[in-house]
Structure formats: C-alpha cells, structure tokens
A and B are shown apart, each in its own frame.
Chain A
Amino acid sequence: MQHGKYRFIVGFLVVPLGLYALFVVWPFIQSIYYSFTDWTGLSPEFKMVGLDNYKRMLHDDVFWKSLQHSLLFALVLPIVTISLALFFAFMINVGGRRRRGGPAITGVRGSSFYKIVYFFPQVLSIAIVALLFQFAYNPDSGAINSLLRGIGLDHVQPLWLGDPSLALWCVMAVLVWSTTGFFVVLFSAGMASIPAELYEAALIDGAGRATTFFRITLPLLWDTVQSGWVYMGILALGAESFAVVQIMTTGPGGPDYSTTVLVLYVYQKAFRDGQAAYATTIGVALLVVTLAFAAIVMRLGRRERLEF
C-alpha cells in the first residue's frame, strides 16, 4: 500500500489539521504569550510586561474568590453527582425483588423507564436548563417558594440566588440535576456487564447488599467512575459552570461575587472590561487548575485494573 501514500496522508490531514491549528492550537499558544503583555484587546498595540499580570492576579480578591468557587465546583460536583448516580444505578440494577428461581440479583421493574427519564436533562442545553431554574428560584413568584408556601412553610422563603450564602449552592444544584442522569446510564451499562455469578457467590457467602456494592460493584466499575470523574470535573471548571453562572446569577457572578468562577472571570475581563491580557493570565491559571485536577484524579485513582 505504498503507492501515493504520503500524498494521500497529506491530502487527508491538511484541512482538518489546518482548521484545528488555526482555531484551537494557535489561540492557546497566543493566549499564553499574551499573558505576559499589557494587551487590552481594544487596540493592536501592546508591550511585554513580564510577570506583572501574574503579580496582579495574586493580589486580586475576585480572582481568589473565583478560584475558590471553581475548586469547589470541581470537588463537590463530581462527588455529589457520581455518588448519587452510583446509588441510583445500583438501585436500578440490583434493587429488584428476588423471584423464586430467578437470578439472585435483578433490576427493578421498569429499569429502562427510569434510565430514559433520568437522561432527559442531558439532551437539553445547559442554557435552557439554567433559564428554567432561574424562574424556579425566583423568591417572590418562583415555583420553589410558592411550593413551600403551598405546603404551609410561609416563613421559609429563602432568596435563593439573591442570598450570597445560598446562591453558589443553588447553581451547583442545577448542574447536579442536569448531569446525574448521564452518569446513571453510564454506570448502569457498566454494572450490567458485571457477571451475576459474582453477586450470587457473595450473597451465598452471606454478604449484604451494601457489601456487594463496595466489594464487587465499585472495584469493577472503577475505570468508568474515574474517567467520569475527570469528564465531570473538566465540565464543572469550564463550559457548564460558565453557562449556569452567567445566565442565572445577578451581575453575573453575584451577589457580591459569591458565585463568580474562573471561566466567567476570564470572559468578563476580556469582553466586558477590555483587559484581554489579564484575562489570558486568569485563563492560564484555569488551565493549570484543570490539568492539575485531571492529573490528581488519575493519580489517586490508579489501581490495578481488574479483569472479569
């Protein structure tokens, strides 16, 4: 298969690679370079300023708040979402009533129905989800507070997104709502491929359901959980948190910077405040956080791969 091989390879790679280099790789390289300049983004002139942007960043309270919130997103969201999803997936696959003569482990009735319904939010745009919940959280006429009034809790009327101590959690709850279903389906597929004999053997030996989960299901599912964790963390640091915070919160990022995240801060500095160079500096910090997060999860989660 040598005839014209290189001409073919070049011919097939040049367009995709060129497009990718121009719109993805080149801007990444540029933005790292710009982080050492005083470029405003508004005029084409700029000069090198060395580490000034980085020094400024270290003394920027809003940056530290954003970093803190982003880290919280990357830690709390995957833990909550993945735990919930593992729990639901285990219930779907193992929670079924044992029938006489049937297999020791069965899924609940209607397991495919649950999986279909749980997946709904995943196909919706996060922007639409954010808008929807913004209405639900409205303190005066929103669905949640009026539900609380409806069941007699007239004095429990939080401001939700208007309350600096609650707003961040409200935003996170929306992301949990919208991503849990995806992981339920993902983990269910993994659990379904675990041989039933393993469970049967464990149950015969007197193991409870909880033991089978921690001793059989989780170890055998570990690879999937880990890659799901990285995937969720990257989303929580990047695009998803941008959309929910930018759409739902006042400011955006408020009240009183209580919900600002790194990705939103980059956007605001570049496209609202005309400080493109400083924005790329914060972007570099976000890049470092993202890569560190992925490396830590992969490192901590490394175990011997179990074959079954």
Chain B
Amino acid sequence: MKTTETPAPPPAEPGASVSKVDVPVSKPGRRKREGTVLNVFSHGVLVIWAIMVVTPLLWAVMTSFKDDGSIFGSPWALPDRLHFGNWARAWTEANMSGYFLNTVLVVGGSLIGTLVLGSMAAYVLARFDFPGNRFIYYLFIGGMSFPIMLALVPLFYVVNNMGLLNTIHGLILVYIAYSLPFTVFFLTAFFRTLPTSVAEAAFVDGASHTRTFFQIMLPMAKPGLISVGIFNFLGQWNQYMLPTVLNTDPDKKVLTQGLVQLAVSQGYKGDWSGLFAGLVMAMLPVLGAYIIFQRQVVQGLTAGALK
C-alpha cells in the first residue's frame, strides 16, 4: 500500500499526456476533479461502514464496565467508574471459566483430529489412483453443501445410542466429522500442487508410504495446514448449532452456548453487566488473535472461496 504514497517526479505523466492527444483540453481538469470528488466520497462511505462495524464492539466493551442501572438508564453514557467486578463475577459466578475450559478442550481436540485425519485422507485422495477415489472425494465434498440440520435429527440419536451425548469427546468426534468436507477439499487441492519428486526420492531410498507422509509430505504442506487450521479453529470455536443440539448438559456447555444460556437466565437474575463482561471476554481472545495473525487469518478464511 505504501507504493501509492510515493511522490513522483512532476514532468513524467504518461497517462495524461496520451489523453491530451485525443480528447478536448478541458478533459484532464474534469477528470482530476472527478478523481477528487470520488476520493472524498469513497473515504466518506468507507469511514461510515468502519464506524458501523466498530461501534457495537466498542459499545459492548464500554457496557461491560458499567453497573446494571446505567446499562438500561443511559446506554450511551460512559461508565461512572470502571466496574471490574463485572468481569470477576462473570468469570466465577456465571461460570465463564468453565465454558472457556470446555471450549478449549473441545476445539483443541477437534482441531488436532481434523488436521491429522483430514490431511491423511486428502493425501491419499490427491496422490494415489485407486478404484473409488473420485467417489470418496465427492462424498466428502458433498458434505459442504448439505444442510447440517437435516442430519442433526438422526445424529442426536446416533450419538445418544453410542453414549456420547453430552460428553466432550463425543462433541470432538462430531466436530471432526463435520469439519472434514472442507478440510479434505482444501488439502486435496493443496497436496496436488506439491512436487512429486521429493516423495518419490524418499520412497526409492526405502521410506515407507507412512513415513514419507509424516516426515516429508506433512512438513511440505505446512502453509496449507496453517490456512485450513485457522479456518477450522474459528469455525469450531464459534460453533453454535452442533453443541446446541448435542450438548445440553449445563456443565459441559461451550462458550457460545454458555453465553446464550446466561442471557436467557438474566431474565430473572438480572446481572446484565456480568453478561456483557462475559460477552467481551469471549470476544477478545478471537479479536486479539485475529489482529496478531491478521494476514494468515484472512488467507485461511478466504482461501476456500477463491479456490
């Protein structure tokens, strides 16, 4: 972006000098004014949307430091003082700490599982020719466009019969299964772009297929794994529909569910400031991680749609 800021030597202006040849003299001036008007207009529009995006988030942060009375009395007023007690209450009494722990366990387990299983399946599908290869590939891909809710009705009973309902490991297995379609889709494309010669050389030197995969191919696929890992991390961290159906035990709830639960129960408890503290608490780690790993996150999330 910096390249646009560099001032150029005045005389050289190839674009404009060409346009002077075949259009009336007044044109460059008009064009210049048009450029300025457009520039002011675009900045105006862009700033307005930026304000619209940031205001609700800042408002939530501000509200999380207010007391209950002023949240409802004057929603836009600054807090009279910083009520840090809201945060402490949310963390302990409202069980945000428990929800955090559950989420970390579930997302940690399923992220590792998704990456390992997804890359294994993708590698085989990308690099080996065998009967049924295309069928299995499209079976995985098909899962991306099907409405998950349709499967959730019987899935609830499948999971229940296996004794996995309301368990952390049950939720992990389901998260992995529903993350596989995109992961396999993305990593298959990625493994196809990697050169075959290195793996062949390793194989000639006597490495087994398994060893070639874990010691040669996986390290080579690191950029792809990072992208798809970020994609899955955000998707699983923010997942709401799967746990709502499969994980209804109050002690096992993940963050998103816990917050909704908290919001519902405030109808009679009335600790709204604690709820806002919880909301902000859940927002900040993801926003922070995004700001730090901004480039990778954007790549990870947009890579799928650009393929």
Contact = CB atoms under 8 A, between A and B. Distances in A.
B27 to A, nearest CB: 8
A266 B154 CA distance: 12
B143 A276 contact: no
Interface in B127-161: 128, 130, 136, 139-140, 143-159
B25 interface: no
A204 B19 contact: yes
Interface in A110-139: 110-112, 114-128, 131-136
Q: Is the interface of A mostly helix, strand, loop or mixed?
A: helix
Contact of A123 (B19, B178, B234): B234
A150 B76 CA distance: 9
Interface stretch (A57-65, A94-102, A155-163, A299-307): A94-102
Q: Is the interface of B mostly helix, strand, loop or mixed?
A: helix
B216 interface: no
A189 B145 CA distance: 24
Contacts of B39: 95-97, 108
Contact of A114 (B50, B239, B290): B50
Given A111-B1, A141-B72, A41 B153 contact: yes
A110 B136 CA distance: 46
B245 A125 contact: no
Most B Cβ at <10 Å: residue of A41, A100, A263: A100
Contacts of A230: 145
A34 B10 CA distance: 75
A287 B151 CA distance: 10
Interface in B62-91: 63, 71-76
Interface in A207-262: 208-209, 224, 227-228, 230-231, 234, 237-239, 242-243, 246-247
Given A119-B298, A143-B59, A186-B302, A17 B12 contact: no
B53 A177 contact: yes
Contacts of A208: 34
A308 interface: no
Most A Cβ at <10 Å: residue of B38, B150, B174, B291: B150
B259 interface: yes
Given A17-B136, A95-B41, A239-B148, A127 B12 contact: no
Contacts of A194: none
Contacts of A181: 53
B18 A204 contact: yes
A180 B146 CA distance: 23
B265 interface: no
B282 A267 contact: no
A279 B177 CA distance: 22
A270 B153 CA distance: 6
Interface string B98-141: 00000000000000000001101101100010100000100110
B148 to A, nearest CB: 6
A22 B158 CA distance: 8
A247 to B, nearest CB: 6
Most A Cβ at <10 Å: residue of B13, B35, B305: B305
Given A118-B53, A185-B298, A238 B158 contact: no
Given A13-B121, A204-B19, A31 B153 contact: yes
7 contacts: A6-B130, A146-B75, A180-B49, A190-B306, A227-B305, A238-B147, A242-B149
Cβ-closest 5 pairs across A and B: A95-B42, A101-B8, A125-B238, A283-B150, A23-B177
